[in-house]
Amino acid sequence: QDNFLFRGSIRDNIIAGRAGLTLSDAMRAAHLAGAEEFIERMPNGYDTYIEEGSPNLSGGQKQRLAIARALIHNPTILILDEATSALDPESEAVVSNNLMRIASGRTMIIVSHRLSSLTECDQILVMEQGKVLDVASHATLLERCPLYRQLWLQQNRHLDGRAGRPV
């Protein structure tokens, strides 16, 4: 949830000191994280210097760099804890559209209160007060889990609820 970026270039913040990683590796990770477009608009691209705490970046930009940093290590298990919470809807769509590519060949655990970011997950755990209420796909949970259905409808009033189509 907190995306710590250190003083240095954007490239250095993505590579984070791991030996043997190249600019190409950083660019691949940034692409998957939906960060390449804003990086390429920066004055010096991947060599743009950022300060500790990165006041020259938006919350969404910091979050996408943190996702790129996690992806560059090509982990077999990736845990995303509210990874899209600071993203604007357009950036969230970019990251969400890349999730299937990000998930390829790895186990992903996504913690999110934003249910729209979970619809493509194989299994969703619905929890209330620390207890698991149900485990199933998005479609199944909409059918049989009252809490999930209620939360989905609250968050997606502009959609038809089930298929995610505008009304």
Nearest to 87 by CA among 27, 10, 35: 35
Which residue type does 164 have?
G
**Residue 54, phi-psi category: left (phi > 0), alpha (psi -120 to 50), beta (remainder):** left
* 107 plus 123 within the same structural domain: no
Nearest to 62 by CA among 127, 114, 14: 14
pTM of the predicted model, to two decimals?
Answer: 0.76
**Residue 135, phi-psi category: left (phi > 0), alpha (psi -120 to 50), beta (remainder):** beta
* 88 plus 129 within the same structural domain: no
Q: What is the residue-level pLDDT of the chain in tens, covering all 167 positions?
A: 567 788 899 999 999 878 899 999 999 999 988 899 999 999 999 999 998 777 888 888 888 898 899 999 889 999 988 877 777 777 777 777 777 788 888 899 999 888 988 898 999 999 999 999 999 999 999 999 999 999 999 998 876 545 455 44
Q: Are the beta carbons of 11 and 71 closer than 8 angstroms?
A: no
* 129 plus 101 within the same structural domain: no
Alpha carbons 71 and 79: distance in angstroms, whole number: 11
Which residue, of 88, 112, 136, is where some domain finishes?
Answer: 112
* 120 plus 108 within the same structural domain: no
* 99 plus 122 within the same structural domain: no
